[in-house]
């Protein structure tokens, strides 16, 4: 396996081109301790305390769109402090105050005009706390890590804000409790400081300490905040209990004691945030409930792999970047830690009597939607020497599903007691130019019932990572290595070997075989990336591998292993107004993939371009040429299946998003060679904001897929596997609706709804004869229609016409419709304390793709009675 010499040459050549402009001279602002009464946070700036310090700013420079040019509007700021708080005042001048854009949104919406303060109170040149007041009074806050590469808006500290508009522009006044920051215990402190302003109608971003946009990194180039003396780190103590009342309604099923049509419950729980020391914070949750969290989008999965869904639960979202360890973030979602494993749906279905085949016996089992999380604790910290860490300890309860057979009640365990442990640590070296770290996870299950023996008893993973920058952070190398070890019964380890992530049983798998006596499995992986991140020309070159026995899915996410991936990427960017555009980006990509038998599975090349025009419209487009593709998984344990190459093309265009109404259009097409594949998707989004407090969006999507090689079934023919594929015509439609109405900055009504439907029709069935033959038509044998006899739910296949079926397979056609919606009223009646009123519904049915004109061709029919959840949730945060 060798690297294309042209690619290597381009990568080396780019290292000598277009080095970034150095940042301005380091600025500083000197604050003062409040003498007398502290400022009253009312957005007026008429308190005497503000006279104790001078205004800073006035000479902001643009980072976009005209880099290093003076800002078109003036911004001033003042900073004060006392033993408990930091006070910040902003004066944002605007020559046309009647044109100030005062849009409202949920917290962290960052709509309209805003100003922002970033504080590197650790003074580690890598992390910062960001507080963003918008002119509408909506707060935004983010925890900045990895020197600005990660902005985590799940961080929701307690702070206070008032804004006002006057004849000169607008004003923001902030009070930030020191308990929300982390800093060293020293008699005198220097903090990193950056102020940024968004002048919305010009789409202009300007900063106090100028940082060229083409320079990699952010926090290490901050100015200094000086004059902080005599303050002590605050030990944060916040306790937030909740009370929840919930009612569920659903379709009643006659005779089923678990489907009576309704259920109600009252529950209590607790969240807490405790500052153990100035460097260490403990987050706790006891019996958490996430009923106010938006539902996942509907999906139908025709692949062999698990789908990835984003985490939406607040406890696991906040600070999740601390525990993050992606295997290859440039290419996929694989990660050593995937928090959605905790509290997931029980993995073992209940059975009343698995040996009873009498269909006339009435049997019912209870369906449990999620595993109960008894409690979780998250410990995070960073000391003055640059050592940061995160620990997560979670225990989930054993889950028992009730059963009913002819009125005889019982219960079966469907999920064992499980302990999840995650530890992540990183050490900054040389002012953050080098960072070394590691991660360790452990999953331990208390398995006592034989029905659960297919689960792992124990699962462990470990990883090490290194990031090193040099030459003013222009160049970098990113390396990581990781390993996994799972233990369990022979049944569990056999199941792992045969799972879709690896398919050891493949007949053409020459490097791994199924060993049904094994009681453990150990795998490894690694990634190495070198690149350039400063200047107009940036690039990276990477190599990653994961061994066949790697297993992460007990507390991580791994779609597929047994691969070696090489890629190269280069981008030329213009981050200023030039010619017809406000900014431009042009990319070239290349990638190749092999398995551990050195089989070349994938090879592709891609070009794409992105530009925003001077009228604020945006256009992106790209195309990928896939030279070859093969899959080790598509035949579900069969041999690797080779496909012809393909060509795809996509466009993304949006009108001016500053306007009250704008449109997004995103069509995509793919053509497979030999006519084996045709697909097209058309996505729209219509966004309308009739007033600043109301935002409405409709996003219709329609997709078509014709694939001659869609897997259908594996059948046994005289002791040999026959792999059946067919031609699928699939249509998928969805309409995503969102509405946000901000009654006040702290009181909102939000609606999400999505009707979804997909239908698939199969014909022209084939069976695979030589899955990797050079000629496409030599890879399969067509199943003649004369051989097929359709039954009620299956096809009988008589290949030799002796009137005796040689094998059969289920009819694969499908039709599915689903409507999910979520309406949430959220009232933050005091900072950190909230009241939720939630209505969630799910309704299933059918989706019809029929002949006729386009406007009447597609139709949903949600015939089933909806599953409704109504809940009231009240939380109160005690700050002690």
CA angle 47, 52, 55 (to 5 degrees): 90
Is there a contact between 544 and 332 (Cβ–Cβ < 8 Å)? Answer: no
- Cis peptide bond N-terminal to 65, omega within 30: yes
pLDDT digits (tens, 9 = 90+) for 790-811: 888 999 999 888 888 999 999 9
Give the DSSP H or E segment for 490. helix 490-498
Supply the pLDDT for residue 20: 44
> 135 Cβ partners below 8 Å, 6+ apart?
92, 100, 101, 102, 112, 113, 114, 163, 165, 170, 172
Q: How far is CA 122 from the centre of its chain?
A: 27
Cα–Cα distance, 319 to 311 (Å, whole number):
12
pLDDT of residue 53: 97
The CA distances from residue 37 to 77, 163, 398, 660, 874, in Å, are 19, 20, 56, 43, 35
What the block records as the tokens of 547 is 């061994």
Q: How far apart are the first and last CA of the chain?
A: 61
Radius of gyration of the chain (CA): 30
Q: Give the C-alpha separation, 565 to 171, whole Å.
A: 52
Q: What is the DSSP letter of 21?
A: P
Strand partners, 130: 118, 142
- Per the CB < 8 A criterion, the answer to whether 765 and 635 are in contact is no
Closest CA to 523 of 561, 559, 492: 561
Distance CA(543)–CA(478), nearest Å, equals: 11
Q: Which tokens hold the place of 249?
A: 């309604």
Q: What is the pLDDT of residue 594?
A: 97
**DSSP string covering 413-469, please?**
EEE-EEEEEEEEEEEEETTTTEEEEEEEEEEEEE--SGGGTTS-SEEEEEEEEEEEE
The list of the chain residues with pLDDT below 70 reads: 1-24, 352-362, 854-855
Strands 280-286 and 373-382: antiparallel
Q: Decide: helix, strand or coil at residue 827.
A: strand
Beta bridge partners of 563: 546
- Domain spans, the chain: 19-229, 276-287+311-555
Tokens 């200023």 belong to 576
Long-range contacts of 307-314 (CB under 8 A, 24+ apart): 308/333, 308/557, 308/559, 309/340, 311/339, 311/340, 313/288, 313/339, 313/343, 314/154, 314/290
pTM, rounded to two decimals = 0.89
- For 514, the 3-state DSSP assignment is coil
The confidence score (pLDDT) of residue 684 equals 97
CATH 2.60.40.1190 fits 19-229, yes or no: yes
């Amino acid at each position: 396996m060798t690297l294309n010499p042209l690619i290597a040459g381009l990568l080396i050549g780019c290292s000598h081109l277009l080095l970034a402009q150095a940042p301005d001279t380091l600025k500083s602002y000197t604050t003062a301790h409040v003498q007398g009464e502290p400022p009253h946070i009312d957005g007026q700036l008429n308190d005497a305390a503000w006279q104790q310090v001078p205004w800073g700013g006035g000479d902001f420079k643009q980072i976009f769109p005209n880099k290093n040019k003076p800002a078109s509007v003036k911004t001033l700021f003042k900073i004060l402090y006392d033993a408990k708080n930091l006070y910040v005042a902003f004066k944002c001048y605007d020559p046309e105050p009647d044109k100030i854009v005062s849009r409202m949104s949920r917290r962290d919406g960052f709509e309209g005009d805003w100003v922002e303060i970033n504080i590197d109170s650790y003074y580690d040149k890598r992390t910062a706390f960001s507080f963003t007041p918008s002119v509408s009074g909506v707060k935004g806050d983010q925890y900045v890590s990895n020197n600005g590469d990660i902005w985590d808006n799940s961080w929701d500290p307690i702070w206070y804000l008032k804004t006002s508009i006057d004849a000169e522009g607008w004003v923001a006044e902030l009070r930030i409790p020191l308990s929300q920051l982390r800093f060293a215990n020293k008699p005198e402190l220097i903090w990193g400081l950056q102020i940024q302003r968004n002048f919305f109608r010009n789409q202009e971003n300007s900063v106090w300490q100028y940082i060229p946009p083409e320079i990699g990194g952010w926090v290490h180039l901050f100015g200094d905040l000086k004059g902080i003396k005599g303050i002590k780190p605050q030990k944060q103590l916040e306790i937030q209990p909740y009370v929840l009342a919930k009612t569920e309604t659903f379709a009643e099923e006659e005779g089923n004691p678990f489907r009576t049509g309704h259920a109600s419950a009252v529950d209590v729980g607790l969240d807490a945030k405790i500052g153990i020391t100035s460097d260490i914070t403990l987050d706790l949750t006891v019996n958490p409930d996430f009923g106010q969290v938006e539902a996942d989008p509907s999906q139908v999965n025709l692949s062999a792999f698990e789908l990835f869904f984003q985490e939406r639960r607040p406890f696991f979202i906040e600070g999740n970047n601390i525990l993050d360890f992606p295997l290859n973030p440039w290419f996929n979602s694989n990660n050593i830690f995937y928090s959605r494993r905790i509290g997931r749906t029980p993995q073992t279905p209940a059975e009343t009597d698995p040996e009873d085949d009498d269909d006339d016996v009435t049997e019912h089992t209870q369906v449990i939607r999620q595993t109960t999380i008894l409690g979780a604790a998250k410990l995070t910290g960073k000391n003055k020497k640059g050592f940061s860490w995160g620990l997560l300890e979670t225990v989930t309860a054993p889950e028992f599903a009730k059963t009913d057979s002819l009125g005889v009640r019982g219960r079966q365990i469907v999920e064992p007691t499980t302990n999840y442990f995650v530890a992540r640590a990183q050490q900054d070296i040389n002012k953050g130019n080098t960072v070394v770290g590691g991660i360790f996870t452990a999953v331990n299950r208390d398995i006592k019932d034989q029905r659960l023996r297919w689960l792992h008893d124990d699962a462990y993973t470990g990883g090490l990572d290194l990031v090193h920058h040099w030459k003013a952070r222009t160049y970098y190398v990113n390396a990581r290595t990781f390993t996994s070890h799972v233990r369990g019964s022979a049944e569990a380890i056999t199941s792992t070997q045969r799972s879709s992530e690896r398919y050891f049983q493949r007949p053409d798998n020459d490097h791994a075989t199924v060993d049904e006596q094994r009681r453990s499995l150990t795998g490894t992986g690694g990634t190495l990336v070198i690149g350039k991140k400063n200047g107009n020309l940036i690039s990276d070159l990477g190599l990653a591998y994961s061994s066949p026995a790697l297993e992460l899915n007990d507390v991580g996410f791994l779609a597929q292993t047994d691969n070696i991936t090489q890629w190269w990427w280069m981008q030329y960017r213009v981050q200023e107004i030039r010619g017809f555009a406000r900014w431009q980006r042009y990319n070239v990509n290349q990638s190749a993939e092999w398995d551990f038998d050195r089989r070349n599975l994938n090879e592709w090349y891609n070009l794409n371009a992105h530009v925003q025009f001077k009228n604020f419209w945006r256009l992106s487009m790209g195309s990928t040429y896939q030279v070859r593709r093969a899959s080790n998984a598509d035949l579900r344990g069969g041999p690797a299946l080779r496909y012809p190459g393909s060509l795809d093309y996509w466009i993304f265009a949006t009108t001016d998003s500053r306007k009250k109404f704008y449109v997004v259009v995103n069509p995509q097409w793919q053509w497979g060679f030999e006519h084996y594949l045709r697909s097209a998707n058309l996505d729209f989004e219509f966004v309308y904001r009739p007033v600043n407090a109301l935002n409405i969006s409709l996003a219709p999507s329609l997709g078509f897929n014709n694939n001659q090689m869609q897997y259908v079934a594996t059948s046994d023919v005289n002791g040999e596997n026959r792999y059946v594929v067919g031609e699928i015509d699939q249509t998928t439609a969805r309409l995503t609706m969102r509405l946000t109405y901000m009654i006040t900055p702290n009181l909102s009504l939000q609606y999400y709804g999505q009707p979804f439907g997909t239908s698939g029709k199969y014909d022209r069935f084939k069976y695979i004869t030589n899955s990797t033959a050079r000629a496409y038509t030599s890879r399969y044998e067509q199943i003649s229609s004369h051989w097929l006899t359709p039954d009620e739910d299956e096809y009988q296949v008589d290949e030799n016409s002796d009137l005796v079926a040689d094998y059969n397979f289920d009819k694969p056609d499908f039709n599915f419709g689903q409507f999910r919606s979520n309406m949430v009223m959220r009232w933050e009646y005091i900072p950190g304390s909230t009241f939720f009123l939630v209505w969630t519904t799910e309704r299933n049915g059918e989706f019809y793709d029929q002949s006729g004109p386009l406007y009447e061709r597609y139709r949903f029919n949600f015939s089933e009675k909806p599953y409704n959840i109504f809940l009231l949730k009240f939380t109160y945060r005690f700050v002690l």
